[in-house]
Amino acid sequence: MPNLSTTYLGVPLKSPLVVAASSISSHVDRVQMAESAGAGALVIRSLFEEQIQLDSMQLDEFLAAGSDSFSEATSFFPKIEHGGSKEHLMWVEKTRKAVSMPIFASLNAVSPGAWVTYAKQLARTGVNGLEVNLYSVPTDMGKSGSDIEKALYEVIESIKAEVALPVAVKLSPYYTSPANVIKQLEQHGAGAVVLFNRFLQPDIDPDTETLVNEMVLSNPAELRVPLRWAALLYGRTRLDLAVNTGVHTGRDAIKALLAGATVVQVASTLLQNGIPYLSTMLLDIQNWMDERGYKSLDDFRGKVSQKHCDDPFAFERAQYVKLLSSIH
């Protein structure tokens, strides 16, 4: 049997399939199921600073509403303080203990200090590494791209200064120069990049003339963007590359590995096909490797990257002009 083991963020993994941050991590039995089906690791859903603030505000409102109803009410209520990140941290710790595969925590903060505070708290749960989820939609017209990028590097640097764990950065594909951002992240202490965060875009319903925010799972066509970037980056950065978004089958995972992925993260396909589908994906990878005589992932990782491909320009303009002219 071909060997599927790999190393991600310095942590040995028995397979390159990593369960992406998602609701799959909300139940311990699902995490255990992922481990039994052959997952190499799992990322726990993010600790969102806004969620903590919202819960805290709701608690404050509830207490305030109660105290309006009865003049003495404030004395009825014992001093309740919002648990903050406590509940999430307990969950991370419980999950960490329930399985032996590596577990990564994910964090999405808004204020600069909060990133470090929560990173330190998450590090104490015993997780193997941190994924910094940079999901944000910058809308401030007064803020330049370089201001936003500078703030990002400061976040990574300050986390690395306080936390000994390896850090992966889940990036947006929408930087003017993702390659430069990735180079800077490397210099500021990141260990891996997750290509890419999947931005959920609101839709508009013309019948009701309202916004529609619904959770739509990914489709395999979305793999093209991370695939191209993994292929462009392979061999040009020391960072591990986690390809994420649009990996739905074992064949998709093979494509990502050929492009240069260190690991492949999956969520939508497991929500659609069930968590045991991981084992089918792994079997498809092994069968494909067997057919070609590959003994380990390193035998073919990055084989179709820009570095190793016959036409190094293919990934850049991707035959843009030729393809456009070919449709009549």
What is the rounded distance in angstroms from the CA atom of residue 43 to the CA atom of residue 265? 9
Distances from the Cα of 134 to the Cα of 89, 173, 263, angstroms: 20, 11, 19
Here the tokens at position 225 are 């963007």
Which part of the chain contacts ligand FMN (CB under 6 A), choosing from 14-22, 93-101, 177-185, 306-314? 14-22
Query: What is the x/- site pattern for ligand FMN, positions 200-219, by CB under 6 A?
Result: ---------------x-xx-
According to the binding rule CB under 6 A, does residue 95 interact with ligand FMN? no
Residue closer to ligand FMN, measured from CB, 108 or 306:
108
Q: Contact at 8 Å (CB) between 39 and 278?
A: yes
Residue 246: DSSP 8-state = S
Q: Rule CB under 6 A: choose which of 34, 233, 258, 266 binds ligand FMN.
A: 266
Q: CB atoms < 10 A from the CB of 27, how many?
A: 11
Which span (18-26, 75-83, 110-118, 145-153) binds ligand FMN, by CB under 6 A? 18-26
Question: Considering the rule CB under 6 A, would residue 272 count as an interface residue with ligand FMN?
Answer: no
**Furthest CA-CA distance within the chain:** 79
Q: What's at 300, amino acid-wise?
A: F
Q: Does 133 bind ligand FMN (CB under 6 A)?
A: yes
CA dist., res. 286 & res. 280, Å (int) = 10
267 near ligand FMN (CB under 6 A): yes
What is residue 299's DSSP assignment? G
Question: Is residue 262 near ligand FMN by the rule CB under 6 A?
Answer: no
- The residue from 160, 170, 228, 301 that contacts ligand FMN (CB under 6 A) is 170
Q: How far apart are CA 324 and CA 278, in angstroms?
A: 37
| Choice between 95 and 218, CB closer to ligand FMN | 218
| Two structure tokens written together for 314 | 């293919």
Residue 127 Cβ, how far from ligand FMN at the closest point, in Å? Answer: 14
- d(C-alpha 152, C-alpha 166), whole Å: 16
Question: Rounded to an integer, what is the distance from CA 35 to the centroid of its chain?
Answer: 18
Kindly state the number of chain residues that form the binding site for ligand FMN, as judged by CB under 6 A. 22
Q: Does 306 bind ligand FMN (CB under 6 A)?
A: no
Check if the beta carbon of residue 266 is closer than 8 Å to that of residue 226: no
Give the residue with the Cβ less far from ligand FMN, 107 or 239.
Answer: 107
Check binding of 246 to ligand FMN (CB under 6 A): yes
Q: Which two tokens stand for residue 208?
A: 């009701």
Q: What are 298's two structure tokens?
A: 């390193």
Sole window of 112-120, 242-250, 299-307, 320-328 interacting with ligand FMN (rule: CB under 6 A): 242-250
- Name the residues that contact ligand FMN, by CB under 6 A: 20-23, 45-46, 106, 133, 170, 198, 215, 217-218, 244-247, 266-269, 271
